[in-house]
């Protein structure tokens, strides 16, 4: 009887090992298996016995970070089989071996539970991402590569990579009064900021079609925000229009100055001649926005952006020099220009932005220029910062 039990016990680690290896080969993470293998090799080389056996628990613990519960159990089973084999080989006392294997089993079960909880959180996060992406498409509709007389490109990156949606806003639409556009930044983060951005864009799209005067468009946005926002909430924005050939109108409400690129490649900031408070705060000051009119000839370009671009810092805490980057990368293709700027911006911050960032570039091509082929939409939603 005792002999049969010993015989079966001698083969149990081998059968268990074979099953575990087969399941691990079906898709378990390689790193936990490598950890277990290194521990086994160290034990075989040093003959330290019980000193190394407790470290086998590192395998299932590490597997919980990348694998599902089944993968964790497979790694734990592999570690237990190898631990039993090594304990027998090194003549580890039975009570000590049982204690080690019991601890290994406890770690494996706890790691399996942690893996199951992690998987549940990942599924919830995937659902949140799906909803956020749908909201993103509804809020920031794709901008065509050509709108009216302009070539257009947009780049948008949300700092909240898990949700892929942020508080920056942009829109560019043709109207009976020429092409009109807006770029803005809502104070705050999360769903309240998204709701405010949706409100601003909805009012802008309606008012841009209805109001002949660009200042009237801004006034309608201001009145609506004054009714709907809290006392501490506001939106910085630049609203621009192209009412007639060669002329660009700009209204700046507490936002970063746009960058104007002339046909010769020179870059200048369009500083506001009539400084105005952000939208939603006009009642607190005596300043009202004024209309700034700029000459805008063939081959000229205008870049609007949010402070997530200019306030992006590198490891030395230096801000990203957007004007210098634009001068380096400006081209006749807005999509290529913004692509180079965006790549340089991510390299500057080390791969992940800490604030939402939006870039919108328009260019007035000369009539003699051939049509530029560009990808529809010309936009890139934010999954790169992640």
**DSSP H or E segment with residue 248:** strand 247-253
What is the pLDDT confidence band of residue 12, given thresholds at 50, 70 and 90? Answer: very low
Write the pLDDT tens digit of every residue in 206-235.
Answer: 999 999 999 999 999 999 998 988 777 899
**DSSP H or E segment with residue 250:** strand 247-253
Give CA–CA dist 301/297, Å, rounded: 9
What does the block give as tokens for 97? 């071996």
pLDDT, position 132: 64
Give CA–CA dist 351/216, Å, rounded: 41
Write the pLDDT tens digit of every residue in 167-209.
Answer: 789 999 999 999 999 999 988 766 677 888 889 999 999 999 9
**CA nearest 308: which of 322, 328, 297, 296?**
322
pLDDT, position 380: 41
3-state SS, residue 358: strand
Give CA–CA dist 357/377, Å, rounded: 17
What is the pLDDT confidence band of residue 48, given thresholds at 50, 70 and 90? Answer: low
What is the pLDDT confidence band of residue 50, given thresholds at 50, 70 and 90? Answer: low
CA distances from 279 to 226, 236, 285, 357 (A): 8, 6, 11, 19
What does the block give as tokens for 380? 């890139």
- Cα of 382 vs its chain's centroid, Å: 5
Average pLDDT, the chain: 81
CA distances from 165 to 143, 191, 304 (A): 17, 9, 19
Write the pLDDT tens digit of every residue in 75-129.
Answer: 888 888 887 887 777 777 777 778 888 888 888 888 888 888 888 888 887 777 6
**DSSP H or E segment with residue 127:** helix 94-139
Percent of the chain exceeding pLDDT 70 equals: 80
pLDDT, position 9: 42
Where is pLDDT greater, at 84 or 20? 84
| pLDDT at position 378 over 70 | no
- Cα of 262 vs its chain's centroid, Å: 32
pLDDT, position 298: 94
Quote the pTM value.
0.67
């Amino acid at each position: 009887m005792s002999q049969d039990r010993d015989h079966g016990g001698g083969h149990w680690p081998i059968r268990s090992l074979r099953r575990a290896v087969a399941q691990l080969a079906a898709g378990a993470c390689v790193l936990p298996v490598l950890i277990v293998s290194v521990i086994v090799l160290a034990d075989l080389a040093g003959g330290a016995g019980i000193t190394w056996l407790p470290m086998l628990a590192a395998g299932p613990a590490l597997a919980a970070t990348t694998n599902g519960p089944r993968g964790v159990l497979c790694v734990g089973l592999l570690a237990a089989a190898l631990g039993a084999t090594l304990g027998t080989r090194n003549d580890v006392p039975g009570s000590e071996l049982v204690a080690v294997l019991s601890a290994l089993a406890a770690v494996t079960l706890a790691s399996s539970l942690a893996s199951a909880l992690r998987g549940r959180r990942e599924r919830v996060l995937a659902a949140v991402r799906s909803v956020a992406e749908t909201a993103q498409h509804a809020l920031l509709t794709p901008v065509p590569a050509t709108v009216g007389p302009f070539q257009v490109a947009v780049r948008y990156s949300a700092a909240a990579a898990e949700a892929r949606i942020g508080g920056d806003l942009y829109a560019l639409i043709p109207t009976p009064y020429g092409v009109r556009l807006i770029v803005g930044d809502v104070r705050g983060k999360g769903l309240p900021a998204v709701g405010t951005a949706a409100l601003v864009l909805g009012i802008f799209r309606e008012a841009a079609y209805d109001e002949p005067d660009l200042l009237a468009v801004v006034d309608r946005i201001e009145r609506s925000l004054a009714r709907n926002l809290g006392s501490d909430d506001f939106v910085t924005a630049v609203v621009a229009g192209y009412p007639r050939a060669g002329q660009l109108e700009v209204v700046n409400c507490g936002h970063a100055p746009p960058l104007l690129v002339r046909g010769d490649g020179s870059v200048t900031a369009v500083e506001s001649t009539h400084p105005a408070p952000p939208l939603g705060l006009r009642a607190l000051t005596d300043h009202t926005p004024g209309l700034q009119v700029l000459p805008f000839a063939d081959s000229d370009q205008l870049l609007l952006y949010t402070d997530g671009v200019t306030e992006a810092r590198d490891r030395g805490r230096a801000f990203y020099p957007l004007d210098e980057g634009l001068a380096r990368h400006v081209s006749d293709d807005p999509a290529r220009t913004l692509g180079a700027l965006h790549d340089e911006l991510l390299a500057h911050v080390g791969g992940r932005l800490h604030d939402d960032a939006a870039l919108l570039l328009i260019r007035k091509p000369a009539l003699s220029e051939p049509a530029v082929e560009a990808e529809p939409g010309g936009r890139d939603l934010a999954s790169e910062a992640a």
